[in-house]
């Protein structure tokens, strides 16, 4: 892992995964000039999918949500480099990869300070040919084995003591080989003990119930029991 600094900015990156200039790699214009933008997705902002020399990647700028986000859309209070949003998520993804949890590999993180505040960006591996569970379940139900695989991957994450505070059906992916991926670890963290794990599962259960009405997904109580069976091992 390498760390570079210039003009009140710090970049942390993996030189094995990123062959491009780490400073330019956070600029969408750079990728557009290389004709390397392969797609985008809209959320609070635009996530750009780009083709690097080593792999396809997802480039995300951090934006605030909620009412406060309408006033200060992308600035956060600076305390130290390690706790900045992109640096913290980068480090957490490194931990998960080392623990064998299937998550996008972190490629690079950038933080730029301005007075007491900072802005942040993150570059991660793009999961190839993947669909989130909501989209997948709109097409049809999952098999028993697939539900158990979802539960087993969540258990692996929990065994690594990572508290995913926004675990929902959109943050679980299936790729073309039917492998399970977990994504979106912004504001997540390592946590001691066991008490928070049930809260993660309860949040996920509520998201399935919600998406039955909202998106018409193919999901029923028996599917949840199969997920719990996979979680229990």
- Residues annotated catalytic, as ranges: 166
Listed in order, strand segments (DSSP E) in the chain are: 2-6, 9-13, 37-42, 46-51, 56-61, 76-77, 106-114, 117-125, 131-132, 162-163, 172-174, 180-182, 189-190
Indicate the DSSP class of residue 128.
T
CA distance 39 to 205: 31
Task: Calculate Rg over the CA atoms of the chain.
Answer: 18
What residues form DSSP beta bridges with 118?
A: 76, 113
Give the bridge partners for 41, in sequence order: 47
SS3 11: strand
> Helix crossing, 195-215 with 221-232: angle to 10°?
150
């Amino acid at each position: 892992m390498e760390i570079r600094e210039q003009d009140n900015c710090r970049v942390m990156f993996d030189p094995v995964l990123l062959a491009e200039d780490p400073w330019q790699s956070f600029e969408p214009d750079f990728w557009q000039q290389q004709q390397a933008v392969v797609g985008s997705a809209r959320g609070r902002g635009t996530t750009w999918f780009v083709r690097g020399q080593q792999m396809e990647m997802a480039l995300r700028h951090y934006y605030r949500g909620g009412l406060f986000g309408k006033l200060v859309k992308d600035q956060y209070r600076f305390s130290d480099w390690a706790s900045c949003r992109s640096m913290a998520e980068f480090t957490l993804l490194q931990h998960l990869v080392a623990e064998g949890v299937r998550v996008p590999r972190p490629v690079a993180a950038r933080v730029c300070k301005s007075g007491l505040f900072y802005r942040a960006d993150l570059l991660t591996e793009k999961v190839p040919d993947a669909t989130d569970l909501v989209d997948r379940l709109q097409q049809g139900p999952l098999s028993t084995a697939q539900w158990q695989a979802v539960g087993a991957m969540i258990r692996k994450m929990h065994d690594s003591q990572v508290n995913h505070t926004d675990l929902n059906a959109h943050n679980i992916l299936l790729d073309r080989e039917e492998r399970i991926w977990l994504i979106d670890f912004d504001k997540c963290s390592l946590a001691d003990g066991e008490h928070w794990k049930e809260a993660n599962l309860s949040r996920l259960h509520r998201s399935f119930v919600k998406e039955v009405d909202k998106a018409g997904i193919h999901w029923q109580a028996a599917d949840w029991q199969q997920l719990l069976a996979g979680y229990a091992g």
